[in-house]
Every structure is written in structure tokens, then in C-alpha cells.
Structure 1
């Protein structure tokens, strides 16, 4: 039931933003009673924290372990965040955007958890066997890209999407 509830929160975050996450709306979307919801999550804050933790664990599972070949972590960062071809905004490829939204809307505790993940990931990028500036540039480009997708701020589309992704991939391969 916990995953069903978190799935509902994700759908609500994507379709309506953090303001739409209300206990009654989540219970209805998940098809559970409000009491069943409260058994697993005591507050809106707990729901958002649960979404963030689950999404960060999924994202982490897509990243290679320490000691992988040079550039593997940076390449996995790109692959896990930006699809090879342009996909409509709010698709499954944008799940990490939901985590960002949760982090920004969940209060200081949730934002602090997101920051801890990023600190760890930045250290892994810097130690990925590439020039740390190149790895960080790729991370910042990817983060900006999915933020543009999340907010529909003129994200690269179609051929430009493929060209930008190819340029980032080339940066990683040249540095490895």
C-alpha cells in the first residue's frame, strides 16, 4: 500500500504541483481510506519525504558503483536524467524532476536531504576519472535541462535535444 500511496503522490506532484498534495486528494488518488494513508504517512511533509527518498534510491540504483571505468558515473548521470530522444514533458523520464519539486516544496528537512544526496553525487562526479570541471559541467547542464523540462522553460526539443545530448556525451567520452 505504501508504494501505491507514493505513486499517487508522484502523479499529483506532476499534474498539479506541491499545492495539490493534500491528504484527502492523495487518499482518493491511491484508492485508500484517509485512515489507511495516515497509518503510513502522518503528514503532507511525510508524503513528500517518502517520494523524495524513493526517487533518490531509484536514481542511485541507476548509477554505477565506485571504481567503475573513468567517466562511467558522469555518463550514467546523463543517461539516468535525459532520454536519448526527445520525450514529452512529464513522462517517466522526468521522475527526477518530481524529486526536485518535492525537495523544493517539502520544507527545510526535505531540502536538506536532497542537498546531502547532491553532495555525495558531486564528490563521485569529481572522482569519476574525468576532469572534475567537465564532470561538473555535465551535471549542471543535465540539472538545468530537466529543470527546463519541469517548468517548460523552452527545453531543447527534437533535433536540438539530440544535438545537445550528443555534445554532452562527447564531452564525457573525450575526457575518459
Structure 2
């Protein structure tokens, strides 16, 4: 039931933003009673924390362990975030966007948790065996990509999407040699 509730929160968050997250709306979207929802999540903040925690856990499961070959972590960061081909924002799970929405709208505690994760990820990127500036540039480009996508700020589409992603991939490949 917990995953069904968190799935509902993600859908509502992407479709309507943080203001659309109301306990009754989440219960209805998840197909559970409000009491069932409250058994797992007592507040809106708890819902957003749950979404963020689950997304971070899933994202980290896609990342390689420390000690992997140079560039492996940075490439996994890119692969886990930007799909090789452009797809409409609503057509695939924009996990990063959902995590950021949860972090931004869940209050200072949720945002602080996201910031802590980012500091750890940035340390891993900087220690990935590539030039730390290149690894950081890839992260910042990825962050800008999903922000443009999330807010529909003219994200690269179609062939330009593929070209930008290929350029980031090539940067990683050049550094990893």
C-alpha cells in the first residue's frame, strides 16, 4: 500500500505541483481510505519525504559502487537522468523532476535531505577519476536539462536532445581515457 500511495503522490506532484498534494486527493488517487493513508503518512510533509527517500534510493541503486573505473559514476549519473532519445515529459517517469519538486515543496527538512544527498553525489563525481571540473560540468548540465524539462523552459528536443546528450557522453569518454 505504501508504494501505491507514493506512486499517487508522484503523479499528483508532476501533474499539479505541491499545492495539489492534499491528503484526501492522495487517498483518492491511490484508491485507499484516508485512514489507510494516515496509517503510513501522517502529513503532507511525510508524503513528500517518502517520495524523496524512495526516489533517492532508486536513483542510488542505478549508480555504481565506489572504486569503479574512472568515469563510471559520471556516466551512470548521465544515463540515469537523461534518456538517449527525447520523450515527452509526461511519457516517462521524470524521477529527478519529482525528487526536486518534493525537495522544494516539502519544507526545509526535506530540502536539507536533498542537499545532503547532492553533497555526497558531488563528492563521488569529483572523485570519479575524471577531471572534477568535467564531472561537475556534466552534473550541472544534467541539472539544467531536467530544470528546463520540468518548467518547460525550451528544453532541447529531438535531434538537438540527442546531440547534447552525445556531447556530454563524449566529454566523459575523453576524460576517462
* TM norm structure 2: 0.98
- Offset of 1:95 from its aligned partner? 1.4
May I ask how many residue pairs the two structures share in their alignment? 176
Unaligned runs of 5+ in 2: none
**1:16 aligned residue:** 16
Conservation of the 8 A alpha-carbon contact between 1:13 and 1:20: yes
Q: Secondary structure in 1 aligned to 2:118?
A: helix
Give, in whole Å, the separation in 1 of the partners of 2:69 and 2:85: 25
Task: Indicate the RMSD between aligned Cα atoms, in angstroms.
Answer: 0.6
**1:86 aligned residue:** 86
**2:114 aligned residue:** 114
Q: Could you list the structure 1 runs, at least 4 aligned residues long, displaced by more than 4 angstroms after superposition.
A: none
- Offset of 1:90 from its aligned partner? 2.7
Give, in whole Å, the separation in 2 of the partners of 1:139 and 1:168: 10
**2:31 aligned residue:** 31
Q: Does 1:43 align with 2:27?
A: no
Unaligned runs of 5+ in 1: none
Conservation of the 8 A alpha-carbon contact between 1:9 and 1:47: yes
Residues 8-64 of structure 1: CA distance to partner in whole angstroms, max 9, x if unpaired? 000000111110000000000000000000000000000000000000100000000
**1:132 aligned residue:** 132
**1:71 aligned residue:** 71
Q: Secondary structure in 1 aligned to 2:90?
A: coil
